[in-house]
Amino acid sequence: MTQTNFLILMVDQMSGCMLAEPMLKYLHAPNIKRLIEQGVKFENAYCASPLCTPARGSFMTGQLPSRSGIYDNAAEFPASTPTFAHYLRLKGYQTALSGKMHFVGPDQLHGFEERLTTDIYPADFGWTPNWHDPLNRIDWWYHNLHSVTEAGTAEISNQLEFDDEVAYFARLKLHQYARRLDTRPFCLTVSFTHPHDPYVARQKYWDLYENIDIPMPSVAAITYAQQDPHSQRLYDAVNYSHYSITTEHIYRARRAYCANISYLDEKIGELLQVLDDCDFTDNTVIVFCADHGDMLGERGLWYKMCFYEYAMRIPLILHAPQQFTAKHIKTPVAAQDILPTLVELAGANPHNLACPIDGKSLVSLAQGEEQNGRVVYGEYCAEGSVEPMIMIRQGRFKFNYCEADPIQLFDLEADPQELNNLANHPDYAPLLQSFQQQLKQRWNLEQFKQQVMHSQDCRRLVDSANRQGQFKSWDFQPQHDATQRYMRNHLDLNVLEANNRYPKPSSH
């Protein structure tokens, strides 16, 4: 039996709420909408942690940060931790990455046979938080609200330059696969940095939303005094008091965000066209996902770093019309479920892995099996936090816990905007106790905190030492050997031109 190919499309900081009504109908995103119409859409998919590196670490390993040690945006990804790329290589796959994955540490491959681009973010320990002084804002790398107040248009930006390159090399790689000089099946991961802030879009995509009433936040800004303690810390972390955010700022930021989704949609369409043109479509499983979401002004919050739905919910679509009937699934799932899903679809046993994971394959769900008891876990241990934060989503309820903060319990069906905290309601005391029992069984929070702080202390020391004298970067340097490309005199012109053509010329 022919092994299926995989094309994994990852976008950055795109809230899953954008692919739900009413937001979806406002988006000019025909290619993403086609994936939804033909695929299995998981309506309640969550990231493992609402921040780039820990979220991507869980996507790659199937492990929560407490298991992997990838706590924040400067936490090292251990080279000894298997990823889906390792498992697929053992099953005979070519594995390649075009774009961002924010690997921290000297291993910049983590199972990928090839990386086609560098990363957009640094690979060192410079962004390490400090829980000895957690409320001290570090201005040179913490978010601020410039992205909101300066939202608008630009022909080129740091992010646009990066994603243009990501798409180019991904298309090139698909064409190289089509030439089949290597007959192994492929797993190509294409990871864009949009629609991550800054909220800056090219004019052509901005213009798609002219005279369109893009929905504004469903929950208006909440005053500092009325915010929960963690949201107050996030206000401080983004330097909120130094900015005056107007309705126009919010509109322009959300318009640019939508425009950048349209930009991504066009890039995705180009890749889907290559699949069609090279006869890959019928034998390629497409996974569309994001690392985490963006609050986009909901409750007055921006970016991520919290457990509210706009930050935690991610888009997750499994497109495999030859295997799964198109459907929408409401059962809560998580990014850490992607690794065992890929392993199972590749023909291996997702229950027989080299080390424990926190995910569960989505294949049976996609086939229509009911799994009402499925539980999703999330953690957060980075900027804006002072101790480990835990989220449990089960059924219609979400439970948020941190030793430093009041408990939160939300009924997401009755209260999708998370405005009514049920934690102190006597009718929900048994449910609250059940969640607390799950928490106690799964986490030793004091030990978890000490592990995070030990990791932070070690990384800050190493980073300080590495910056004394000559600094040696771990940032990935893509290598493109020009001596083996196009026509060179050590190559046979006739063989070269025949091999680099698709479809192959007919024999004479």
Q: Which of 47, 52, 381, 402 is catalytic?
A: 52
DSSP states of 471-501 as a string?
-----------GGGSS--TTS-HHHHHHHT-
Residue type, 83: T
First vs last C-alpha separation in the chain: 31
Q: Which of 86, 102, 143, 230 is catalytic?
A: 102
Which distant-in-sequence residues (6+ apart) come within 8 Å of 237 by Cβ?
Answer: 137, 142, 143, 305, 383, 384
Q: How far apart are CA 455 and CA 449, in angstroms?
A: 10
Rounded CA Rg of the chain: 23
CB count within 10 Å of CB 86 equals: 18
Which distant-in-sequence residues (6+ apart) come within 8 Å of 277 by Cβ?
Answer: none
Sign of the CA dihedral with 314 first, then 68, 343, and 104 last: positive
Decide if 306 is catalytic.
Answer: no
Decide if 52 is catalytic.
Answer: yes
Which distant-in-sequence residues (6+ apart) come within 8 Å of 410 by Cβ?
Answer: 397, 398, 400, 418, 420, 421, 422
Three-state SS across 399-410? EEEECCCCCEEE
Token digits of residue 193 = 């940095």
Residue numbers annotated as active site? 52, 102
